[in-house]
Amino acid sequence: TMEQQVGAFEEGLNPEQAAVVRHGKGPLLVNAGAGTGKTGALVRRVARLVADGAEPERILAVTFSKKAADEMNDRLRELGVARARVGTFHSLALNTIMREVPALKGYDVDDRDRYHGVVKDALGFRGIDWKAADLTVVSNWIGRCKAQPHRAGTDGAKLFAEAFHAQRPCQQRDPGLLAAAYAAAEEMRVSRRLLTFDDMLVELAEL
């Protein structure tokens, strides 16, 4: 029976973990510390959903670390579920945008922080000549700007630069220079066909 099937996925779990596996439709928040069995409960929940008739391809599980995603995929394979999508925010974003945005084909993923060098080049690009700029401050601001997400040259980026400067007014946070450096860096990044981890999330959000 269906009740027996669900019971099999709950075997060996404590009552809180079993509630995660058994939960029906609608949102569910699982709030627990490290080492309390969240991953195991979520894996069995996915397996239970598939056993109930859900299509594995329509299940999406997102984690923060590759290690956790690999562990969940391994456990799901052991339970006979191989086609559910488990990955990090960035890996799932990359897979999606590469499939859906043809213009990004051929871009290199910036896994060695080459964008830091792009920003450095941008600070002296086309008359910006921001000799006193702190490369780390500018790079971090661009990353925070993309996280909003605000594209270079948008009103959102301009307002974000002004708010950043207002927090601690100083030459290192000059709004006009921040916006100009961001625009120049993005022009260089696109010409070099580079895709940062921040860009993956920006592209996915826009998609």
What is the rounded distance in angstroms from the CA atom of residue 31 to the CA atom of residue 36? 10
Which pLDDT value is given to residue 2?
46
- What's the whole-model pTM score? 0.79
What is the rounded distance in angstroms from the CA atom of residue 160 to the CA atom of residue 192? 26
Per the listing, tokens 């897979």 go with 95
Side-chain-facing half-sphere of 110: CA atoms under 13 Å = 17
Instruction: Answer yes or no: is pLDDT of 3 > 80.
Output: no
> How many CB atoms are closer than 10 A to CB 126?
10
Residues facing 62 on adjacent strands: 87
Instruction: Answer yes or no: is pLDDT of 174 > 50.
Output: yes
3-state SS assignment for residue 133: coil
Phi-psi region of 35 (alpha: psi -120 to 50; beta: other; left: phi over 0): left
Q: Provide mean pLDDT across the span 121-127.
A: 79
61 near 38, Cβ under 8 Å?
A: no
**C-alpha distance from residue 182 to each of 14, 141, 165 (Å):** 51, 9, 15
Which pLDDT value is given to residue 69?
93
Which pLDDT value is given to residue 8?
78
